[in-house]
Structure 1
Amino acid sequence: MTTFVDRVELHVAAGSGGHGCASVHREKFKPLGGPDGGNGGQGGDVILVVDQAVTTLLDYHHSPHRKATSGKPGEGGNRSGKDGQDLILPVPDGTVVQDKAGNVLADLVGQGTTYVAAEGGRGGLGNAALSSARRKAPGFALLGVPGGLQDIVLELKTVADVALVGYPSAGKSSLISVLSAAKPKIADYPFTTLVPNLGVVTAGSTVYTIADVPGLIPGASQGKGLGLEFLRHVERCSVLVHVLDTATLESERDPVSDLDIIEEELKQYGGLGDRPRMVVLNKIDVPDGKDLAEMVRPELESRGYRVFEVSAVAHMGLKELSYALAEVVAQGRAAKPTEEATRIVIRPKAVDDAGFTVVREEDGLYRVRGEKPERWVRQTDFSNDEAVGYLADRLSRLGVETELMKAGARSGDGVAIGPEENAVVFDWEPTVMAGAEMLGRRGEDHRLDEPRPATQRRRDKQAERDEAEKEYDDFEPF
Structure 2
Amino acid sequence: MTTFVDRVELHVAAGNGGHGCASVHREKFKPLGGPDGGNGGRGGDVILVVDQDVTTLLDYHYSSHRKATNGKPGEGGNRSGKDGVDLILPVPDGTVVQDRQGNVLADLVGNGTRYVAAEGGRGGLGNAALASARRKAPGFALFGVPGGGGDIVLELKSVADVALVGYPSAGKSSLISVLSAARPKIADYPFTTLIPNLGVVTAGSTVYTVADVPGLIPGASQGRGLGLEFLRHVERCSVLVHVLDTATLESDRDPVTDLDVIEEELTLYGGLDDRPRVVVLNKVDIPEGQDLADIIRPDLEKRGYKVFEVSAVAHLGLKEVSFALAEIVAKARADKPQEEATRVVIRPKAVDDAGFTVTVDEDGIYRVRGEKPERWVRQTDFSNDEAVGYLADRLSRLGVEAKLMKTGARAGDGVAIGAEDDAVVFDWEPTMMAGAEMLGRRGEDHRLEAPRPASQRRRDREAERDDPQREYDEFDPF
Q: CA deviation at 1:263?
A: 0.9
Q: Is 1:155 aligned with 2:155?
A: yes
Q: Please name the residue that 2:70 is paired with.
A: 70
The 5-angstrom pairing of residues 27-426 of structure 1 reads 27-342=27-342, 347-426=347-426
Q: Please name the residue that 2:476 is paired with.
A: none
Task: Give yes or no for contact 1:51–1:90 (8 Å, CA) kept in 2.
Answer: yes
Q: CA deviation at 1:465?
A: 5.1
Shift in alpha-carbon separation, 1:261–1:346, aligned structure 2, 3 A: farther
Q: CA deviation at 1:464?
A: 3.8
Summarize deviations over 1:286-341 as a string: whole Å, max 9, x none: 11111111111011111111100001111111111111111111111222245433
Shift in alpha-carbon separation, 1:45–1:134, aligned structure 2, 3 A: same
Q: Please name the residue that 2:435 is paired with.
A: 435
Q: CA deviation at 1:230?
A: 0.5
> Matched residue of 1:30: which SS?
coil
Task: Give yes or no for contact 2:392–2:432 (8 Å, CA) kept in 1.
Answer: no
Task: Give yes or no for contact 1:11–1:152 (8 Å, CA) kept in 2.
Answer: yes
Q: CA deviation at 1:463?
A: 6.3
Shift in alpha-carbon separation, 1:103–1:463, aligned structure 2, 3 A: farther
Shift in alpha-carbon separation, 1:456–1:48, aligned structure 2, 3 A: farther
Shift in alpha-carbon separation, 1:312–1:202, aligned structure 2, 3 A: same
Summarize deviations over 1:97-129 as a string: whole Å, max 9, x none: 001111110000001100000000000001111
Q: CA deviation at 1:215?
A: 2.9
Q: CA deviation at 1:48?
A: 0.4
> Matched residue of 1:209: which SS?
strand
Task: Give yes or no for contact 1:133–1:463 (8 Å, CA) kept in 2.
Answer: no
Summarize deviations over 1:231-251 as a string: whole Å, max 9, x none: 110111111101011111222
Q: Please name the residue that 1:3 is paired with.
A: 3
> Matched residue of 1:211: which SS?
strand
Q: CA deviation at 1:270?
A: 1.1
CA distance in 1, matches of 2:430, 2:108: 50
Task: Give yes or no for contact 1:44–1:119 (8 Å, CA) kept in 2.
Answer: yes
> Matched residue of 2:290: which SS?
helix
CA distance in 2, matches of 1:440, 1:459: 17
Shift in alpha-carbon separation, 1:405–1:355, aligned structure 2, 3 A: same
Q: CA deviation at 1:349?
A: 2.9
Summarize deviations over 1:169-203 as a string: whole Å, max 9, x none: 11111111111111111112221111001111111
CA distance in 2, matches of 1:294, 1:71: 71
> Matched residue of 1:155: which SS?
strand
> Matched residue of 2:298: which SS?
helix
User: Which range moved further: 21-30 or 377-386?
Assistant: 21-30
User: Which range moved further: 462-471 or 444-453?
Assistant: 462-471
Normalized against structure 2, the TM-score is what?
A: 0.95
Shift in alpha-carbon separation, 1:5–1:465, aligned structure 2, 3 A: farther
Shift in alpha-carbon separation, 1:328–1:450, aligned structure 2, 3 A: same
CA distance in 2, matches of 1:316, 1:471: 84
Summarize deviations over 1:403-460 as a string: whole Å, max 9, x none: 2222222222211111112111111111262621354521211222313468965775
CA distance in 2, matches of 1:2, 1:406: 61
Shift in alpha-carbon separation, 1:352–1:61, aligned structure 2, 3 A: same
Q: CA deviation at 1:223?
A: 1.3
> Matched residue of 2:265: which SS?
helix
The 5-angstrom pairing of residues 450-461 of structure 1 reads 450-452=450-452, 460-461=460-461
| CA RMSD, Structure 1 to Structure 2 (Å) | 1.9
Q: CA deviation at 1:153?
A: 0.4
> Matched residue of 2:433: which SS?
coil
CA distance in 1, matches of 2:54, 2:466: 56
- Code of the residue aligned with 1:77 in structure 2: it is G
Q: Please name the residue that 1:18 is paired with.
A: 18
Q: Structure 2: which 5+ runs fail to align?
A: 473-478
CA distance in 2, matches of 1:137, 1:389: 14
> Matched residue of 2:421: which SS?
helix
CA distance in 1, matches of 2:327, 2:118: 43
Shift in alpha-carbon separation, 1:67–1:463, aligned structure 2, 3 A: farther
**Percent sequence identity over aligned pairs:** 86
CA distance in 1, matches of 2:467, 2:39: 21
Normalized against structure 1, the TM-score is what?
A: 0.95
Summarize deviations over 1:335-356 as a string: whole Å, max 9, x none: 2245433366655433322111
- Code of the residue aligned with 1:449 in structure 2: it is E
Task: Give yes or no for contact 1:392–1:435 (8 Å, CA) kept in 2.
Answer: no
Task: Give yes or no for contact 1:24–1:34 (8 Å, CA) kept in 2.
Answer: yes
- Code of the residue aligned with 1:145 in structure 2: it is V
CA distance in 2, matches of 1:216, 1:459: 85
- Code of the residue aligned with 1:383 in structure 2: it is S
User: Which range moved further: 13-22 or 186-195?
Assistant: 186-195
Number of equivalences: 472
Q: Structure 1: which 5+ runs fail to align?
A: 473-478
Summarize deviations over 1:16-44 as a string: whole Å, max 9, x none: 11111111111111100111111110110
> Matched residue of 1:199: which SS?
strand
Q: CA deviation at 1:265?
A: 1.0
Shift in alpha-carbon separation, 1:95–1:435, aligned structure 2, 3 A: same
CA distance in 2, matches of 1:329, 1:5: 28
Shift in alpha-carbon separation, 1:119–1:221, aligned structure 2, 3 A: same
Q: Please name the residue that 2:475 is paired with.
A: none
Task: Give yes or no for contact 1:133–1:460 (8 Å, CA) kept in 2.
Answer: no
Shift in alpha-carbon separation, 1:261–1:377, aligned structure 2, 3 A: same
